[in-house]
């Protein structure tokens, strides 16, 4: 059976960018073999923040979450790979760094669930939605597709 690569949206949140952890966190994803097909640093606008976290609107932590994600630059990425949505969530660890497995990004680099250093989409639907909030289609490097086809043809590469 042929395997199909997925895409997911990842953000290095302001607390981690400010502490100089951008390269360290990107390395976790690259070391796993995921391809970075989109990458940018930006300040999240109020509109982007509201769209991104619309599922949490009205929750006690919502206002603080919106302030946090807009408080400094984020590094937004689209990653592509096999089972990348689930795999990124595993590399990130549980929402609360105190509950996250040692070795995950949140356990290793964060202390509080309110400032947990990284975001990753939780489903294929969320991934598509979140990618479209932060990236235009032409900003994604789709020439990676050629590499994907090559690797898929030559099963011994994977
Ligand atoms: N969050 C928070 N307090 C909570 C739960 C969540 O501040 O009690 C923040 C935290 O930054 C988290 C984000 O809201 O990453 C989104 O929450 P979600 O439950 O979707 O967690 P995630 O998918 O990021 O693990
Ligand atoms: Mg979530």
For residue 113 and ligand 1, the question of a CB distance below 6 A is answered with yes
Is a pLDDT exceeding 80 seen at residue 1?
no
Distance 122 CA to ligand 2 centre (A): 6
Q: pTM value? A: 0.92
Minimal CA–CA distance to 128: which of 9, 40, 47? 9
Tell me the catalytic residues. 119
Please tell me the distance from the alpha carbon of residue 120 to that of residue 93, in angstroms, as a whole number. 10
Q: Are 22 and 75 in contact (CB under 8 A)?
A: yes
Name every residue whose Cβ is closer than 8 Å to that of residue 69 and which is 6 or more positions away in sequence.
11, 13, 14, 44, 49, 52, 53
pLDDT tier at 149, thresholds 50, 70, 90: low
pLDDT in tens, 94-142: 999 999 999 999 999 999 999 999 999 999 999 999 999 999 999 999 8
Per-residue model confidence (pLDDT) at position 143: 77
Tell which one of 15, 61, 66 to mutate to probe ligand 1, the residue whose CB is within 8 A of the most ligand atoms. Answer: 61
Least confident of 56-65, 66-75, 104-113, 135-144: 135-144
Residue 89 is given by DSSP the state H
Which residues on neighbouring strands pair with residue 42, listed in sequence order?
A: 74
* 58 to 63, 66, 99, 133: CA distances (angstroms): 8, 12, 24, 21
Tokens of 81: 């790979």
Distance 56 CA to ligand 1 centre (A): 9
Name the residue ranges covered by the structural domains of the chain. 5-152
- Place domain 5-152 in its CATH homologous superfamily: Nucleoside diphosphate kinase-like domain (3.30.70.141)
Distance 65 CA to ligand 1 centre (A): 8
Per-residue model confidence (pLDDT) at position 32: 98
Helix axes 22-32, 84-92, angle to 10 degrees: 140
Name every residue whose Cβ is closer than 8 Å to that of residue 34 and which is 6 or more positions away in sequence.
79, 80, 81, 84, 87, 88
Work out the percent of the chain whose per-residue pLDDT is above 70: 90
Minimal CA–CA distance to 17: which of 136, 109, 122? 109
Work out the percent of the chain whose per-residue pLDDT is above 90: 87
């Amino acid at each position: 059976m042929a395997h199909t690569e997925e895409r997911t949206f990842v953000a290095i949140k302001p607390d981690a960018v400010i502490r100089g952890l951008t390269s360290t966190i990107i390395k976790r994803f690259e070391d796993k073999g995921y391809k970075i097909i989109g990458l940018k640093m930006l300040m999240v606008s109020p509109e982007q923040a509201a769209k991104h976290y619309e599922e949490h609107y009205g929750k006690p932590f919502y206002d603080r979450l919106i302030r946090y994600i807009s408080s400094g630059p984020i590094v937004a990425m689209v990653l592509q790979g096999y089972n990348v949505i689930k795999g990124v969530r595993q590399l990130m660890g549980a929402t609360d760094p105190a509950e996250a497995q040692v070795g995950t990004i949140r356990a290793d680099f964060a202390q509080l669930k309110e400032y947990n250093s990284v975001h990753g989409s939780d489903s294929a639907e969320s991934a598509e939605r979140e990618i479209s909030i932060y990236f235009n289609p032409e900003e994604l490097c789709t020439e990676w597709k050629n590499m994907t086809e090559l690797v898929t043809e030559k099963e011994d590469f994977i």
